[in-house]
A and B are shown apart, each in its own frame.
Chain A
Amino acid sequence: MSTTSNSMTFNIRIWRQKNAQTPGKLVEYKLDGISPDMSFLEMLDQLNERLYAKGEEPVAFDHDCREGICGMCSLNVNGIPHGPDSQVTICQTHMRIFKDGQTITIEPWRSTAFPVIKDCVVNRSAFDRIIQAGGFVSVNTGGTPDANALPISKEIADLAMDAAACIGCGACVAACKNSSALLFVSAKASQLNLLPQGKAEKDRRVLKMVETMDAEGFGACTNTNSCEAVCPKGIPVTFIAQLNRDYAWAMLKGAAAEPKATVGGA
């Protein structure tokens, strides 16, 4: 049988796990009739439609915007978070980059801090808790100064934007042999620490975020650069160095993450 350019066949090995309590395993499916123009997730849609037709439960995987910005999709494909295409999420990866007949292994993000919920869906709420600990500028709605009152150099604004591009997908954690979340944490902390608006609570921010990161069970950064290699937004590891620096300074200054209780305070 000859395969035309409009039809590819794949051997899909995908992680199936009923829920957090039940152990899972890789299950193989043969999938034909895949167009090279399909996105990776459309290929999985096809798989699910076929499973549906057979009365088998479809594979659960997280996805939403399918244009690489919401950060929901989270598949480890052939050993690489977001698959072999560089600087894109798996939802933006198209089947034409795979070889016809290839075996594709699909697994969820693996990390103690990201427990599997079902199949390839994991719980990434640890990231939310890190942001809740310090990934913000403590400013209420209203009463803010005019936006142009505080000049910010283009270089700093651009650098902050490089860091702010993070979509919180967790590929950095998934790729890291230590499951370190430091690229994620440092991107948010650096964005806010670089900008004058965020400087007031810079020390407190890094201390709280690192403390929460550790408490959530993420590992340490050993500077392997895996995070940077898989980051769909190309966030560089130099932000990790910045976080280490900010953290060391905060410690040297003896800054404490918890403010001292004030008598008669609010």
Chain B
Amino acid sequence: MSLDSKSPAGPIAQKWDKHRFDMKLVNPANKRKYSVIVVGSGLAGGAAAASLAELGYNVSCFCFQDSPRRAHSIAAQGGINAAKNYQNDGDSVYRLFYDTIKGGDFRAREANVYRLAQVSAEIIDQCVAQGVPFAREYGGTLSNRSFGGAQVSRTFYARGQTGQQLLLGAYSALSRQIGLGKVKMYNRSEMLDLVVIDGQAKGIIVRDLVTGKITRHSADAVVLGTGGYSNVYYLSTNAQMCNVTAAWRAARKGAYFANPCFTQIHPTCIPVHGDHQSKLTLMSESLRNDGRVWVPKKKEDCGKKPSEIAEADRDYYLERKYPSFGNLAPRDISSRSAKEVCDEGRGVGPGGRGVYLDFADSIKRLGLKAIQDRYGNLFQMYEKITGENAYEQPMRIYPALHYTMGGLWVDYNLMSNLPGLFVIGEANFSDHGANRLGASALMQGLADGYFVLPYTIGNYLAQQKEKAPSTDHPEFVKAEQEVHDRLNKLMSIKGKRSPNSFHHELGHLMWENVGMARNEKGLKEALAKIPQIREEFWKNLNVLGDKEDLNNALERAGRVADFLEFAELLTLDALERKESCGGHFREEYQMPDGEAKRDDENFAYVAAWEFKGVGQAPVLHKEPLNYEEVHMSTRSYK
């Protein structure tokens, strides 16, 4: 079956305007009669909940942290893109659109991306009006920088804490609505199931993480802004509690999961130092502006101190392979190159999983002071974590899972194939294709939350004849019972292993076999092993403590159980996509020089998977990608 993206017809620049005009509106006086559930309070969820409440809808917002301000959007460092062309350097909506499509390796939907570029400018206006303290020039205008290899300076930033500042902006808007009584906020509350009635999403089942109480919540529409699934790899730069549960629960209820194999690896993270490691720390990519990446030419040198390795014995492999972009080669390329040299046995540091990022030349050229001014906080953070002084010896870096482009399938209205279920931000698949550009995640989350969903959800609600069902509806009763049964099961296995140990095991397998470079053998091996881990999980898990109490282990167990199902889908998608594009690299499909070999003839589609049961083969639905505006070209960063 082919999926309909519902992209409006007409010239690309007019699609959104026309669509907005064609959409049905909800009468202002009637808005309060509609209730909307927003799950997640990050950039997308927080912005959506606040905006919907401002419009007059009845909003309930749920987050599993102790406050909506903790959502993981807060950790984004670099910045947010917007086609403002404040620098007069030739930026435009069309250029941002083009760069995003190209950066996504031609696997994103044109109409969505164009709309994203269109609303990007409004986001900056909105955030400034909220009091987000973006960096400024002496003259009082906003400052911009070029980010992630972009040819124009379109990135707005607030020191190295742009995500934090944008999130706190959305949080303050949300807080205002909570204070006004227009949003009912549920902190420390986790969505454990979606309720679907007659094919439409009508509510959720929630566990209060403090009391363990399970409650039913009914609404006219459900919005998921629940982030990505990087933590399926156990170690990632995501926060510890980021998980796929909300999205996966929706997928189990019939929402299609699109392109799960499109995962992004960030090249500049602090390497793993031991088995006990709980997370990876990302360092801003801006470091690559002044650092040179190298490894020893000879394996024998890997154990030596970097200062003892002569210049002639160093391999500046990015400069060697990509002379024009050098150390600024795109994320996927520099990540994969790092893996290659480490696989060759030339990696440095614990376990040989690291490459040097050397600032010696820049310090010589610009002076220590200049480097301190630019990166002082990053060097300090590096020292806190590793105990090493990067002014004196090169940093060690290694790629880590960072962002997931895949997510629940949505149409142009950000609605999934389940009517009434909207998915926004990283949780959906829509705008980044196979690879996301730097500083575009924040843009997409806020675009969806502030400027897209509030319109499109109205169009859906205006067409709803029946009001939100009672929570006594049999589907609610059934869904709640299922949640209880599952929790009881998790509690009653009483095996020997902690949820964390299963997560660790799954993550290791995923990273090794479904990580940066994938091949058929490894993927098949993973597909064979994941069900085994899952089986062991349901046999040998041990969850201590009570169900009716704050119980981190129980929460974790539920999330790991979902990862164990989802991982199989991710792996299958990676196996079925027999091409290399963006964040998905199949070793069998590469150019003679090691570049990704995309197959537009056979794979220019969105793979949307329909869940058919645990251990059952999911059904693939394809949404063909038609490029009317942009010519599909081969990415080249040579």
Contacts and interface: CB of A to CB of B under 8 A. Distances in A.
When A and B assemble into the complex, do they touch directly, with CB atoms less than 8 Å apart?
yes
Interface stretch (B30-38, B91-99, B274-282, B424-432): B274-282
B279 A124 contact: no
Interface string A160-202: 1100110110000000000000000000000110010110000
Interface string B544-570: 110001111100000000000000000
B278 A151 contact: no
B579 to A, nearest CB: 34
Chain A contact surface mostly: loop
Given A18-B549, A137-B131, A157-B133, A71 B278 contact: no
B627 interface: no
Contacts of A131: 69, 171-172, 175
Contact of A128 (B47, B67, B124, B164): B67
B238 to A, nearest CB: 8
Interface stretch (B355-363, B384-392, B511-519, B609-617): B384-392
A160 B74 CA distance: 18
B278 to A, nearest CB: 5
Given A141-B450, A161-B158, A136 B176 contact: yes
Contacts of A63: 240
B591 interface: no
Contacts of A41: 278
Contact of A65 (B129, B171, B239, B500): B239
A235 B161 CA distance: 15
A157 B273 contact: no
Interface in A125-175: 125, 127-129, 131-133, 135-142, 144-148, 150-154, 157-158, 160-161, 164-165, 167-168
A67 B279 contact: yes
Nearest to A137: B131
B210 interface: yes
A69 B75 contact: yes
A231 to B, nearest CB: 15
Given A42-B277, A121-B550, A195 B131 contact: yes
Given A55-B544, A147-B128, A167-B164, A65 B187 contact: no
A13 interface: no
Interface stretch (A45-53, A75-83, A213-221): A45-53
Interface in A200-247: none
B70 A64 contact: yes
A110 interface: no
B384 A125 contact: no
B451 interface: yes
Nearest to B128: A147
B175 A139 contact: no
A124 B66 contact: yes
> Interface extent on B, as a size class?
35 or more
B387 A60 contact: no
Contact of B125 (A18, A71, A145, A198): A145
Given A58-B552, A64-B239, A147-B84, A164 B140 contact: no
Interface in B315-359: none
A69 B86 CA distance: 30
B542 interface: yes
A93 B387 CA distance: 11
B106 to A, nearest CB: 31
Given A42-B278, A137-B130, A142 B122 contact: yes
B604 interface: no
B533 interface: no
Interface in A56-109: 56-58, 60, 62-72, 85, 88, 92-94, 96
Contacts of A92: 381, 384-385
Contacts of B141: 148, 151
A48 B276 CA distance: 12
Interface in B185-215: 185, 187, 210
Contact of A164 (B136, B168, B274, B384): B168
B38 to A, nearest CB: 14
> Interface extent on A, as a size class?
35 or more
Contacts of B367: none
B117 to A, nearest CB: 16
Contacts of B128: 144, 147, 150, 197
Contacts of B74: 65, 69-71, 167
A19 B211 CA distance: 10
Contacts of A195: 131, 133
A164 B135 CA distance: 12
Interface in A13-55: 18-19, 35-39, 41-42, 45-46, 48-49, 52, 55
Contacts of A167: 74, 164
Nearest to B454: A141
B54 interface: yes
A171 to B, nearest CB: 15
A118 B66 CA distance: 13
A112 interface: no
A147 B75 contact: no
Nearest to B498: A52
A192 B131 contact: yes
Given A37-B387, A60-B550, A144 B544 contact: no
A157 B278 contact: no
A66 B542 contact: no
Contact of A137 (B129, B135, B138): B129
A90 to B, nearest CB: 12
9 contacts: A42-B277, A45-B278, A57-B545, A67-B282, A133-B179, A135-B172, A139-B129, A157-B136, A164-B158
Interface of B: 47, 50-51, 54, 65-70, 72, 74-75, 84, 86, 122, 124-142, 158-159, 161, 163-165, 168, 171-173, 175-176, 178-179, 185, 187, 210, 237, 239-241, 273-274, 276-279, 281-282, 381, 384-387, 450-451, 454, 498, 500-501, 542, 544-545, 549-553
Given A128-B175, A147-B134, A151-B141, 8 more contacts: A66-B240, A70-B65, A96-B387, A128-B178, A131-B175, A139-B173, A154-B138, A158-B133
Interface of A: 18-19, 35-39, 41-42, 45-46, 48-49, 52, 55-58, 60, 62-72, 85, 88, 92-94, 96, 117-118, 121, 123-125, 127-129, 131-133, 135-142, 144-148, 150-154, 157-158, 160-161, 164-165, 167-168, 191-192, 195, 197-198
